[in-house]
Structure 1
Amino acid sequence: MSSEKQTVFLSGATGYIAQHIVKQLLDSKKFKIIGSVRSEDKANALAKNFNNNPDLSFVYVKDVSDPVAFDEAFKEHGSKLDYVIHSASPFHFDVSDVNEDLIVPAKVGSAGIFKASVKYAPNLKHFVVTSSYAAIMDILKETDNTYHLNEKSWNPMPFEQAVTNPLFGYCYSKKVAEQTVWDLSKELNAKFNITAVNPVYVFGPQCFDSSVTKVLNTSCEIVNKFVHSTPETEVDESIKGSYIDVRDIARAHIEPLLDSDKFNGKRLLMDGGRFGNQAIVDVLNTIPQLKGKIAVGTPHRDDNITKDLAVIDNTETKKLLDFEFINLEKTIKDTALQVLKVEGRL
């Protein structure tokens, strides 16, 4: 790579994962970043957190599900873009029509930024899309320990079943969003390389303490609720899944920019191992400020949880990335300790 900094367009720059991507890109001192945000206030707050770094600038994209949402920004900046990281994605279950509120926007949003990249960014080298484990897994077989998954697996649920409830619809929408990118790359004969990053539940600290609010983003809120639990709080078994640390996710988005051909056409299945609610509580109870004050449940109930769940093989991802993933203990502790620090409880 030449000494001149290369330019990355990052959609949804204020997101939980995206802020960590910005931090790592800036820390490398190899990149300039143009981040898309929904409002000037959000841009100003983020710029301030990064000490108004001159390598970070912003464009305004109000609705990522608008088919031409990115066109103006790409017309203006496309000629100088080396990379695109598409991390913006609507995430909510407050829907009245699963197809119209979840599936259609996911497809349109991915198509919009990809088409803009092909049309207006002639020097683009690599397009990284933040996908999800939801695009890979079979939600109906998550508790089937004979079911095996890897980087080539796709969520098999048919559309007719997906529209029956918001959770199915959300999982299906993640598949559609990612598949749209792969399909368009062939259809439009894209000249740049492509990588998808497929995370499971993402834990770890917010990039800045100022982002610690009463309610955190979806995954971290699982930890936050137990940080604010009482010894009487029940530790239910409703959450069983896989974890990954946000700092590892951010790094997985950046590695393809550093070695484009190696990561071309790859899906990175970002899974650090299985966990349940009890495993989270067990870790939290090792923090002196919490021990005896929060839920206890049945200690070590989740120690062998892996044998009860579908088998995830992400050997190829780990080989490609070639770095150790942060373990469950560290990711949960770092999430909780930041909350305690902000609340003045350390």
Structure 2
Amino acid sequence: MTIEKTTVFVSGATGFIASHVVEDLLKAGYKVIGSGRSQEKNEGLLKKFNNNPNLSMEIVEDIAAPNAFDKAFQRRGKEIKVVLHIASPVHFNTTDFEKDLLIPAVNGTKSILEAIKEYAADTVEKVVITSSVAALAAPADMQDVSSVVTEDSWNRDTWESCQTNAISAYCGSKKFAEKTAWDFLEANKSTVKFTLSTINPGFVFGPQLFTDSLKNGINSSSAIIAKLVSSKVDDKFYNYSGPFIDVRDVSKAHLVAFEKPECAGQRLFLCEDLFCSQEVLDILNVEFPQLRGKIAAGEPGSGSSFLTKHSCKCDNSKTKKLLGFKFFNFKDCIVDTASQLLEVQN
């Protein structure tokens, strides 16, 4: 496929991961059609990209609404060869887990695939869906030292069992949305011609593409770092742990996922290593003299023993081989994230 002529559709283009993806696509010479929730958001993004002639936007107000993507694909479907479905509901402020998390995630995935089938069945060749490590393992398994998470793992929660709290329900929503995509392809393989890949990142850290995006809030993973950056000396903190990846690697992986034929049909598990909050604090206290003695310190150096006792193991050697590029290390990722947060604070 010739890069110059390839048009890529990016859902949720104004988001944390997606804006990096849009940047990488434009740099690589692709034409990009993004979707955003409102005219105002869309115009804001176009402006940030200096009204690049290769970027245009469509409004998709609510990805969970029935036929949410129909208008966009009716208008533009014949131009689109690649679809990157990145938009997904992420919030934990709900007690109606089915209505606010599970159904929207599943419907969002279903509606974009239905729109492709209806309006672009003969033009879309590749679909990449942004899933999550949450589709690979339930929260309890992420903290089980005997558990090894790989590309073949699936979160074992059911639709019912994941509805115990917002975190489990969110994790369940990622599983069921991803399952929906694989099942859809299986059921419609005689009608559509696209191949499917999924991107399954751990906690996604790293800088926002546009610093001023932080004024509108922060993605839930980076919020962990923001909280530690603004902690006080004696603060007790929750020691989050799990696999991490830098947003810049997540973005790059989206491109490789559709450019490399070997990635078709694969789940790409993005994890550079395991992390815990204590290790974030260790880096902040060493690398930022202005924070030392003012923020929490916890028990410096105890991170690795905490992980040994409280975290699963991850094996994503298959993904690393398929992608063929080196991920950002933890220190650089945290330093870049915190530097931007401090710049905005100042």
TM-score surpassing 0.5? Answer: yes
For structure 1, list consecutive stretches of 5 or more residues without a partner in the other structure.
none
Following TM superposition, by how much is the alpha carbon of 1:305 offset from its aligned partner in structure 2, in angstroms? 4.0
- Amino acid of the structure 2 residue aligned with 1:270: L
Q: Is the 8 A contact 1:231 1:292 kept in 2?
A: yes
Q: Which residue pairs with 1:89 in the alignment?
A: 88
- What CA deviation, in whole Å up to 9, does each residue of 1:215-241 have, x standing for no partner? 42211111111111222222442x111
Q: Relative to structure 2, which stretch is displaced further, 132-141 or 8-17?
A: 132-141
Rounded to whole Å, the distance in 1 between the matches of 2:44 and 2:256 is 27
Q: Which residue pairs with 2:322 in the alignment?
A: 320
For structure 2, list consecutive stretches of 5 or more residues without a partner in the other structure.
none
Residues 28 and 247 of structure 1: CA distance in aligned 2, closer, same or farther (over 3 Å): same
Following TM superposition, by how much is the alpha carbon of 1:109 offset from its aligned partner in structure 2, in angstroms? 1.0
- What CA deviation, in whole Å up to 9, does each residue of 1:55-83 have, x standing for no partner? 11000000100120100110111111010
Q: Is the 8 A contact 2:276 2:307 kept in 1?
A: no
Q: How does 1:65-76 map to 2 (within 5 A)?
A: 65-76=64-75
Following TM superposition, by how much is the alpha carbon of 1:214 offset from its aligned partner in structure 2, in angstroms? 7.6
TM-score (norm. length: structure 2) = 0.95
Instruction: State how many pairs are aligned.
Output: 341
Q: Which residue pairs with 1:301 in the alignment?
A: 302
Q: Which residue pairs with 2:278 in the alignment?
A: 278
Q: Which residue pairs with 2:114 in the alignment?
A: 115
Following TM superposition, by how much is the alpha carbon of 1:40 offset from its aligned partner in structure 2, in angstroms? 1.1
- Amino acid of the structure 1 residue aligned with 2:79: K
Q: Which residue pairs with 1:240 in the alignment?
A: 241
Helix, strand or coil at the partner of 1:89 = coil
- What CA deviation, in whole Å up to 9, does each residue of 1:160-206 have, x standing for no partner? 21123222211111101001000000111131111100011100000
Helix, strand or coil at the partner of 1:223 = helix
Q: Which residue pairs with 2:148 in the alignment?
A: 148
- Amino acid of the structure 2 residue aligned with 1:78: G
Following TM superposition, by how much is the alpha carbon of 1:3 offset from its aligned partner in structure 2, in angstroms? 5.6
Q: Which residue pairs with 1:64 in the alignment?
A: 63
Percentage of identical aligned residues: 42
Rounded to whole Å, the distance in 2 between the matches of 1:185 and 1:220 is 33
- Amino acid of the structure 2 residue aligned with 1:92: H
Following TM superposition, by how much is the alpha carbon of 1:306 offset from its aligned partner in structure 2, in angstroms? 4.0
Q: How does 1:1-346 map to 2 (within 5 A)?
A: 1-2=1-2, 4-29=4-29, 31-121=30-120, 122-189=122-189, 190-213=192-215, 215-237=217-239, 239-259=240-260, 261-285=261-285, 286-308=287-309, 309-344=311-346
Q: Is the 8 A contact 1:215 1:224 kept in 2?
A: no
- Amino acid of the structure 1 residue aligned with 2:254: H
Q: Relative to structure 2, which stretch is displaced further, 161-170 or 70-79?
A: 161-170
User: What value does the CA root-mean-square deviation take over the aligned residues?
Assistant: 1.4
- Amino acid of the structure 2 residue aligned with 1:294: I
Rounded to whole Å, the distance in 1 between the matches of 2:60 and 2:238 is 40
Rounded to whole Å, the distance in 1 between the matches of 2:169 and 2:236 is 29
Rounded to whole Å, the distance in 2 between the matches of 1:215 and 1:279 is 24
Q: Is the 8 A contact 1:11 1:85 kept in 2?
A: yes
- Amino acid of the structure 2 residue aligned with 1:301: S
Q: Is the 8 A contact 1:235 1:296 kept in 2?
A: no
- Amino acid of the structure 1 residue aligned with 2:82: Y
